[in-house]
Structure 1
Amino acid sequence: EPQPPYWAYAWAGGAVLARYILDRPVSVAGLRVLDLGAGSGLVGIAAAKAGAREVLASEIDRNGVAALGLNAAANGVAITVVGQDITAGPPPPVDVVAAGDLFYGQDLADRVIPFLDRCLAARINVLIGDPGRTYLPRSRLRLLAEYRVPDVGEAKGAAMKPSGVFSFEPE
């Protein structure tokens, strides 16, 4: 039976970031937020609902971009979608970058980390949600919160592992 595409799941990192933002609206209220690698838009929608002034979502998968637009509309929030990889360039004019589950592959981590460093250099606060994937830059993270959530691809009824929300810190 065919697997749904990766963006159709609430991955653990995105799920915990969304929960964190909804639990602590002060983390985004009145601010401009970028949902990096937004998938279906869960984190960006949470940010909009928590009072972000503006939400930008970047997602490279065309179907993910379409799903994002539909999900934002279904939730009654406005999200500006950027349908391309923005990690090679300068950070957009935002106050907070939320990155959920972007450390599962070496090539992706190698693109994302320098981008997040440019965000820090531009005085942008970086939040990372992750269940502890292989290429997570652990030495650069400060744990803000932990939640138990199911993860992508796990069998129904599987034990839920803790996933963290971290702030990304300068080297």
Structure 2
Amino acid sequence: MSKTKDNDISVEKYNFCGHTLSITMFKGSSLGLSAYVWGPAVVLCKYFQDQKIDFTGKKVLELGSGTGLVGILVALLGGHVTITDVSETLEQIEYNVDANIPVTSKHRSKVRALYWGTDHHDYPSDFDFILGSDIVYSPPQFPNIVETLLHCSNENTTIFFCTNMVARMGARDFHDEVIPKKFDSDHVFTDGAISIYKITRKCAS
């Protein structure tokens, strides 16, 4: 990874799965935490690389994308990705999508606003994968995340959440208490304080 800075714009380069991604962060804007690439996004991308997860032809939803790093990588790996965040963040994501996804592959990526627990009904329920990196940090949002997951997933959907378990408020409770009420969850990887969970819908009884 290398970094260059120009006033309030930062550009970081990452290499995953044979692709070099150039991610621009609009730090001078009002995006706050969304203007940064956080550790869980990098760990999740590396996990996909190490596990050789095949996204070819798969329908993928990324929640709380921020800079777009994870969703862009998945699109480059052949996935059909809907990259989402709050509306204020979409310009940054679109910039990075344009900078990293070739025109010939652009049809496999969409950038849309999604407010958890509010407009998730505007989305289908047939995603093969749902991804979230560093989105578990605000306990008041936990019910909205669960509601969104329940609507957008089905019994065949694989959900990957990558979370900083130490630095994020309520992260342990979310993964140990909240998610298991509606989903089966396996802790599949740890990198320091960062954990990856593989989550699926509970089978109907």
- Structure-2-length-normalised TM-score: 0.66
Name the residue aligned to 1:108: 141
- Counterparts of 2:95 and 2:63 in 1: how far apart (Å)? 18
For 1:43, what is the secondary structure of its paired residue? helix
Rg larger in structure: 2
- Structure-1-length-normalised TM-score: 0.77
Instruction: Verify: 1:35 aligned to 2:72, yes or no.
Output: no
For 1:130, what is the secondary structure of its paired residue? strand
How many Å apart are 1:61 and its aligned residue? Answer: 4.0
Instruction: Verify: 1:134 aligned to 2:134, yes or no.
Output: no
For 2:194, what is the secondary structure of its paired residue? strand
- Counterparts of 1:21 and 1:34 in 2: how far apart (Å)? 15
Instruction: Verify: 1:96 aligned to 2:129, yes or no.
Output: yes
Letter matched to residue 96 of structure 1:
F
Name the residue aligned to 1:144: 188
How many Å apart are 1:123 and its aligned residue? Answer: 3.0
Match of 2:193 among 142, 145, 162: 162
Match of 2:47 among 10, 13, 20: 20
Gap change, CA 1:18 and 1:86, over 3 Å in 2:
same
5+ unaligned residues in a row in structure 2: which ranges? 1-7, 9-25
- Counterparts of 1:85 and 1:122 in 2: how far apart (Å)? 23
**Identity across the alignment (%):** 21
For 2:193, what is the secondary structure of its paired residue? strand
Letter matched to residue 144 of structure 1:
V
Q: Report Cα offsets for 1:26-78 as digits up to 9, x if no partner.
A: 342321111111111011011112221x110111042x211111111111253
The number of aligned residues is: 155
Letter matched to residue 71 of structure 1:
N
**Does the CA-based 8 Å contact 1:59-1:83 persist in structure 2?**
yes
- Counterparts of 1:109 and 1:86 in 2: how far apart (Å)? 9
- Counterparts of 2:87 and 2:33 in 1: how far apart (Å)? 10
5+ unaligned residues in a row in structure 1: which ranges? 148-160
Structural RMSD (CA)? 2.4
